[in-house]
Structures are given as structure tokens and as C-alpha cells.
Amino acid sequence: MDVTRRDFIKLIAIAASGLVAGSREALAAALAPERLLEFQALGNVTLLHMTDSHATLPPVYYREPDTLIGIGPEVGNPPYLTGEAFLRYYGIEPGTAEAYAFTHLGFTELAARYGRMGGYAHIATLVKQVRAERPGKTLLLDGGDTLQGSATSLWTGGEDMVRVMNQLGVEVFTAHWEFMYGIDRVKELLGDKDKGGIFKGEFVAQNPRDISWGPPGERVFKPYTVREVGGVKIGIIGQAFPYTPISHPLRFVPSISFGIRDEAMQELIDKLRVQDKVDVTVLLSHNGLATDLKLATRVHGLDIILGGHTHDGQPRPIQVGDTLVINSGAHGKFLSRLDLDVRAGKVQGYRYKLIPVLANFVDEDAEMAALIKQIRAPYESKLAEQLAVSESLLYRRGNFNGTFDEIILDAMLKHHDAQIGFSPGFRWGITIVPGQPITLEDVYTHTGLTYPQSWTRQMTGAEIKDIMEDVADNLFNPDAYYRQGGDMVRMGGLTYTIAPSKTMGQRISNLRVGSKPLDPAKKYKACGWASVREVDGPPVFDVVANYLRSNNRVKLDPRPRVTVV
């Protein structure tokens, strides 16, 4: 992106307060975001990739995790790096726009300096710029978790985001949370193997199979597509989230099995290479990064994996054999650009950048801004309702309880008069900076799903520990193929110790309710939400909104809830 005179003057103004004090560093810091948008084109193909936007149409704050624990050989390697270790590994200076985009360090101060990130009107500007620079050579792909995570997406059944994707010109798409609208709605929005939907691009997913009549049968959707870009034939295989019927209510996909199906994927790769004679093979994946890294060792002939699900923003691709594995972060914070030099039916070279979408430094696209305004207009007053003001930094992302998780748990424990609270380890959910009003829209960005009902029941201490052990194994199993999504379940009303490297049933210890040890035989009143079973308690977004209305201001003291050994 070229720096216009207007942009330069704007950046000088931002730095002016520092220059009054004679600080050249202030000017360098102000110009840093602009430099992040620079890119030297390469070759004859450009792949643009985004994923896990979770329906966040406007720019948002989104704090990256402070804790990501790897197991065995994962320790000390991407994506299991946070904070200072992340900065050292990638050679990023603290306090810069890159440090703000990629880590949690100094988040409140850097958020004040660099502002919100993402926003589809700003993403659209970048996409249009690349397309203008590389006419006929650009392909835009979206890895899913796009139609869920906001109030407007929930209230329109995902249609708001399909309209936005059409306006953006997304050409190939795969899915995960999209299935939570039910399979009939998915087909209406995205199409199936026989016909298209409202979405103007192509929806591909090789792993969902119809099991209406027993063993896995026909594919439900198109497994792949072949696109010609810059005179190069590109085969793109879709991979929906493999554990959809396990991680979510089965009623949404009652006659469909998913799974990884790497053998079937190998057959498709071979077909693309031999029959379709493609030059480049791409997997558009929603497996999660750890699963993609293992998958890359089990199939042959994949050039690129464009992955999602785990929300990992990786500044550089991870190379596994001949396969480049890329993840593009979440909530619209980043746009991946991968330029390929393809000659003689082979990728000869590449250049990559994970571009931080700093909304203060990228102009809005007028057409996309108008569409977003139209979509939000019927709901604007409801979305803008101010519930409370936060005096604390509120966030979710990380292996264990985030501060917004604590708000949800406090609200449920009070509403249900319960002793123990469970809240899912979802990765989606935007950040609230100190002094920022918490609106009803903000609550929905943490709770907006199609099975929001809360529940209460009596549970023994042994049952509570068993659930925690099961979730811990899902998160920390040494085999990535057994990790079925999400972070550790968030717990309210108790503290505990966890040893991630131990085996199933041995990770959780020292559970305490207040000052007393959790009694395996005693029954406790427990509450939670987002159950895979049908329950009839009040929706969690109503519970949390009412709790915030009654408090006006939110301030959380430090809560050392989890000890990691």
C-alpha cells in the first residue's frame, strides 16, 4: 500500500505530541503501521485468506492469549508461543504495532495507541487494492466460523454475513460454526453438492458424509473446486471442522458424519494431480493448526494448507516437508497474502505476509461500509444499549479463564444461586478495554450462539472432576487428532491445579470450593450453558445482560484460579 500525502500528514499528526518532547521514536512508531501494509509482489498467483471472523462486522479490540500450552515436542514451537517468547521467536520489537497485533503484552496501552482492528469495510479496502494490483491473479478464500459470533448474525440466521461475503467477493469457503444453524439452513445459505445457495462463491467440504442409511455414504457437499488464476490451475479441497457432531448438539447435523478422513483426502489430491492436472493443491481447512501439522505428515502432494479454528495468528508459514501450513488469526484482525511463483506445474517460490488490519490506518471501503450500515440499522438501538462500564480489561482468549469468562460465570452463579459454574472454553469473543462501556452487542459477541440456554443440576465432586479431566484430555492429548476444539472449560466457584503433560484422569488435582477441598461424594449445585443436550434455562445472554445492568460498573480483582504444573 502506497503512503499518500494525506496519510503521511495524518501519521505526522499522530506523532506530534511525542515530537514536541523531541522524540523521534514517536514518529517511527506512528509510521510503523503503514509499513506493515507494504508488500513486494512475487510470481503469478496471489492467495488471500481470512478465517474465524465470527461475524464481527465493525472493527474490534481482540487480545491475543497469554497462555498456550504445547505438549512434548510442541513446547517452545509455534503456535505454542505467547508474549515475550513470541516476540523473540519472530524478531518483533516490544511496543510496536506488530507486538500489539500478535501478543497480549501491554495491550491496554497499545490499544490506546493503535486502535481497533479488523472490520469488513477495512478488509474490503485491502482486498480491492490487491485485486487492482494483481488483476486476474488473485483468489480470496475464507476458512469458516464466519456466520456466527454476533447478535446480527444470530438474529438473521447468518444471512447478514453471507451478504457481506458476497460483497467482499469471497470465492471459496468452508465451515464449522455455520452448521449450528442446522443443516437445512446451511444448504439454503451455502448450497450442497447439487445446487448453490445464497452465497455466490463455492462452498467445499470433503469430509461431511450422509449416514441416513448406515455407514458413511455420499458426500453432502462439493469436496473441491478447480480455479484458474494467473494462468495457473489451482485445486482447492475443503475441510469442515471434523468434530462438529461431537462438540455441538447432534440435532443440528443429525444424519451427517464428519471426521478428518485423510485417506479420502489423499485420493482427492491424487485425482487433482493426475486427472485435473492442477499445478497447485490447496487445503482450505478448519481442522485447527495442530491437526493440520499432523495431517501434513500423513498426506502427500499438498502444497498449501490455509487453516483456521484455533485462531492462531502466525507471522510466517510453518513448513512440513513440501507443505506450507498457514493460519490467519481471528475476528478480522488479519488478512493473509501468499504470492506464489508457479512454473512448470510446480511452486518454485513464495512470499507471505499476515497483514494486520489496523482500522485507524486503512480507509473504509464505501460500498462495504454502506452495506454494513444497512444490515445493522434495524438493530442499532438495541445493539448500542449500554449495560455497564468496565474498569478492567475484559477478554476471553487463552487456555484458561479469561476475565470476560469470569463475568459470565459470576452472572450465572448469582442468577442460579449455584456453587459451581461451567462456561465453555470458546476462543471467540472480543476484548473490552478499561473505561469502555459494555453494550448488549458486546455480550452477544461472547454468547451469541443457537443453543444459549443455561442449566442447573446437582453434581457430585467426582462428576465435576471427571468433566474437567475429559475437557483437559481434549485440550492436551499428545495426539492432535484427538483434540476436538476449544480451550479448557472455564470454572467458577472453585480453584484447581492442572498438569497438562500427565495422562487422562491424572491432570486435575487440588480442587477447592472456597477454602475447602472439593468432596468427591458431596453434591454441589452446578450451573452452565451451551449444553449439547436440550435444556430449558434462560439464555445466557439474558442472564449476563441483566447482571451487568444491575452492576453499572465492572471491576475484577485478580483471581488466581488455576495453577499449572
Element (H, E) at 262: helix 262-274
Exposure string (b/e) for 493-508, b if CB count within 10 Å is 16 or more? bbbbebebebeeeebb
Give this prediction's pTM.
0.94
The whole-angstrom separation of Cα 336 and Cα 352 is: 7
Q: What is the pLDDT of residues 444-501, one digit of tens each?
A: 999 999 999 999 999 999 999 999 999 999 999 999 999 987 899 999 999 999 999 9
In the chain, residues under CATH classification 3.90.780.10 are 384-564
Beta strand 224-229 pairing with 232-239: antiparallel
Which of 3.10.20.30, 3.40.1410.10, 3.30.420.40, 3.90.780.10 would CATH assign to domain 384-564? Answer: 3.90.780.10
In the structure grid, which three cell numbers stand for residue 114, read together?
Answer: 493503535
CA neighbor of 357 nearest in space, from 337, 338, 334, 328: 334
SS3 542: helix
Q: Is the backbone of residue 415 left (phi > 0), alpha (psi -120 to 50) or beta?
A: alpha
Q: What is the pLDDT of residues 281-309, one digit of tens each?
A: 999 999 999 999 999 999 999 999 999 99
Fold of 37-374: Purple Acid Phosphatase; chain A, domain 2 (3.60.21)
Residue keyed to cell 443455561: 454
Q: Is the peptide bond before 79 cis (omega within 30 degrees of 0)?
A: yes
The whole-angstrom separation of Cα 208 and Cα 257 is: 6
SS3 97: helix
The whole-angstrom separation of Cα 189 and Cα 199 is: 6
In the chain, residues under CATH classification 3.60.21.10 are 37-374
Q: What is the pLDDT of residue 25?
A: 53
Mean pLDDT by 10 residues, the chain (565 residues): 40 39 45 74 98 98 96 95 97 94 97 97 97 97 98 98 98 98 98 96 97 86 98 98 95 96 97 98 97 98 98 97 97 98 96 96 96 98 98 95 96 98 96 98 98 98 97 96 91 97 97 95 98 95 98 90 94
Q: What is the pLDDT of residue 514?
A: 87
